Amino acid sequence: MSSDPAFELIAGSPDSPVVIHVPHSSTVIPPWVRARITLDDTDLHSELQAMTDADTDQIAELASRVCPVRPWIFVNRLSRLVIDPERFPDPDVEPMARPEIGMGAVYTRTSDLRVLRLADTAHHNELLTRYFDPYAVALSEVVDGRLRSLGRATIIDLHSFPEVELPYEALHHSGADRPELCLGTDDFHTPINLIDSARQSFASMGRVGLDQPFAGTYVPLKHYRSDPRVTSIMIELRRDQYVGSTSSTQAIADMLADFINSVGSSTVAETD
């Protein structure tokens, strides 16, 4: 196991190509970052409740424990309100960085479109330098390690989402279906067999949406759209399916473990 204050790598088996990415499970905000957030403590607590992917780190670790070949787990140990490692750092490329949404790599708006932090280029750049860039490098190195050892790497990008659409979502994909499970894909990095395996492993959850309500999946910029040996799929769990229920959380972890096992034993196929 290796760690940094901003992230943690839980090492898996040398024989596993699977890297579970858990980017949004933490509620931790360093004091110097908290000082720049305009919300009072009550409103900040509510915002963290809305935006945190509850228990996804726990689900990843529970799944790993029952896998005969343990996956690698990379966990963001800071809140996404500090930096969002899933966003493109270039605001001209990242659609969520539009001023009316304000959710690029450094958020400026809340889930209900209020001001989260005032625009400050120096603070923005410091957050990227201190947290975003080292995170991206470390996760790229984990993927590179799987490529060196096994010639392939599969990222499972693990998230959750609320049953009811949040106001910021209405500006991006208003009225999108909200099934019990959403699979996010990339037409370069998501093979058909990865989608099929996920559908099979999570079949008992209920309806499965493909890129609904959320689309895309994480791939390090170093490998993005350039290395087909890196495959990726986003797993979005609707929170009401498990939050507050130990048995439901374990059941989803078991489904994830089944998916991990199928990924570990499969080979890369053609993408859509």
Percent of the chain at pLDDT exceeding 90: 92
pLDDT in tens, 153-192: 999 999 999 999 999 998 877 677 899 999 999 999 999 9
Residue 193 lies in a domain: yes
Residue 40 lies in a domain: no
Q: How many domains does the chain have?
A: 1
Q: Cα 35 from chain centroid?
A: 26
Residues 250, 252, 258, 261: what is their CA dihedral angle, to the nearest 10 degrees? Answer: -80
Helices (H) then strands (E): counts for the chain: 8, 8
Percent of the chain at pLDDT exceeding 70: 95
Residue 86 lies in a domain: no
Q: What gap in Å lies between CA 136 and CA 51, rounded to an integer?
A: 21
Q: What gap in Å lies between CA 90 and CA 255, rounded to an integer?
A: 36
Residue 145 lies in a domain: yes
Q: Cα 115 from chain centroid?
A: 24
Residue 243's domain is classified under what CATH number?
3.40.630.40
Task: List for the chain the helix, strand, coil content (%; round to 5).
Answer: 35, 20, 45
Q: What is the pLDDT of residue 2?
A: 45
Residue 43 lies in a domain: no
Split at pLDDT 50, 70, 90, the class of 201 is very high
Residue 194 lies in a domain: yes
Residue 244 lies in a domain: yes
Tell me the residue range of the domain where 181 lies: 2-30+54-77+134-265
| Contacting residues for 102 by C-beta, under 8 A, at least 6 apart | 108, 109, 113, 116
pLDDT in tens, 19-67: 999 999 999 999 999 999 999 999 999 999 999 999 999 999 999 999 9
Question: 94 or 266: which carries more pLDDT confidence?
Answer: 94
Q: Strand, coil or helix: what is 238? A: strand
pLDDT value at 3 more than 50 = no
- Mean pLDDT, the chain, whole residue set: 94
Q: What is the pLDDT of residue 4?
A: 57
Structure tokens at 99: 């001023």
Residue 188 lies in a domain: yes
Q: What is the pLDDT of residue 171?
A: 87
Bridge partners of residue 153, in order along the sequence: 230
pLDDT value at 1 more than 60 = no
pLDDT in tens, 66-75: 999 999 999 9
- Do 55 and 28 form a contact (C-beta atoms < 8 A)? no
Average pLDDT (196-212) is 95
Q: What gap in Å lies between CA 263 and CA 31, rounded to an integer?
A: 40
